[in-house]
Amino acid sequence: MEDAFTIANKNFKSRLIVGTGKYKNFEQTASAVKASGADIVTVAVRRVNILDKKQPLLMDYLNPKSITYLPNTAGCFTSADALRTLRLAREMGGWRLVKLEVLGDKKTLYPDMIETIKSTEILVKEGFEVMVYCTDDPILSKKVEDAGACAIMPLGAPIGSGMGLQNKVNIELIKEQSSVPVIVDAGVGTASDATIAMELGCDGVLVNTAIAEAKDPILMAEAMKYAVIAGRKSFKAERMKKRKYGSSSSPLDHLI
């Protein structure tokens, strides 16, 4: 496959991963996912609502046979909770490729990296392929890779903040030193943020709130699709060198 995006030995066409939270309803979720062209969607594990059995199910709108479900531990603040969530996800239908996120603070939603690394080691031992949400610290993200992560997912800015990549230098350093895919997760606020992440050389981008909270989520999903494609092509094309002064685009010889 041309310019394949490979995670844990599986090839994916789209380098955009989308979250399925915060949408108005499942119809809108499904339309946005379709418009985004994503092959992977993150999903959360929660209790079935026993009192209201008529509630629609995500699986009735997004077929896990045609799109890769990436179970996520969003909302887990301890290693124990995260492990429990992913073990349940695996039991649900054999999901081994998972996204680990162990949060350390309710306000910033910053990851607790000590708990995250500990959980990664345990999950890898249990046979999971773990994509790991982490801070944009090159030392800690290296430790995440050493713990056996199949992808590193540094934050661009806090989850749901839409502030864009706050530390491009760190993201670039992390990409340079990693031998597993680096996917910017969290902080993307608009399409150009996704392009910037891809231009830095990242392998992919995960977006949820920027699509779900756009006035027109379906249109923004499509914008994200093209933004990621543009950023990837731009990175591969290798941009021109910057100059301090102007350089005429038309030849100056034979001027009339």
Partner 1 sequence: MNNLNVSKIQLNGHPYQISGGINLNELLKNLKIQKSKVAIEVNGEIVEKNKYSSLVLNKDDKVEIVHFIGGG
Could you list the residues that contact partner 1 (CB under 8 A)?
A: 19-23, 26, 29, 42-51, 53, 57-59, 69, 71-72, 74-75, 84, 87-89, 91-93, 159-160, 208-209
Of 147, 100, 103, the closest CA to residue 124 belongs to 147
| For partner 1, the closer CB: 109 or 113 | 109
Task: Specify whether the CB–CB gap between 103 and 111 falls below 8 A.
Answer: yes
Q: How far is the CB of 69 from partner 1 (least distance, A)?
A: 6
CA distances from 142 to 34, 113, 162, 180 (A): 34, 12, 26, 10
* 99 given a catalytic annotation: yes
The burial of 1, by beta-carbon neighbours within 10 Å (0-12 exposed, 13-18 middle, 19 or more buried), is given as exposed
Nearest to 7 by CA among 132, 157, 188, 156: 132
18 neighbors 38 (Cβ within 8 angstroms) = yes
Nearer to partner 1, 89 or 149 (CB): 89
* Cβ proximity to partner 1, 3 vs 52, nearer residue: 52
Residue 3 beta carbon to partner 1: minimum distance, rounded to whole angstroms? 26
Q: Helix (H, G, I), strand (E, B), or coil: what is residue 90?
A: helix
Identify which of residues 46 and 244 has a Cβ nearer to partner 1 in the complex: 46
- Catalytically annotated residue among 13, 99, 118, 175: 99
Q: To the nearest whole angstrom, how small is the minimum distance from the Cβ of residue 176 to partner 1?
A: 27
Of 74 and 102, which has the nearer Cβ to partner 1?
74
How far is CA 9 from each of CA 96, 97, 206, 207, 212, rounded to the nearest angstrom? Answer: 12, 11, 19, 22, 30
Rounded Cα gap, residues 30 and 227, in angstroms: 20
In whole angstroms, how close is the CB of 37 to partner 1 at the nearest point?
18
In the complex, the smallest distance separating the C-beta of residue 100 from partner 1, rounded to whole angstroms, is: 13
Tell me 2's DSSP state. Answer: T
Would you name the residues annotated as active-site residues? 99
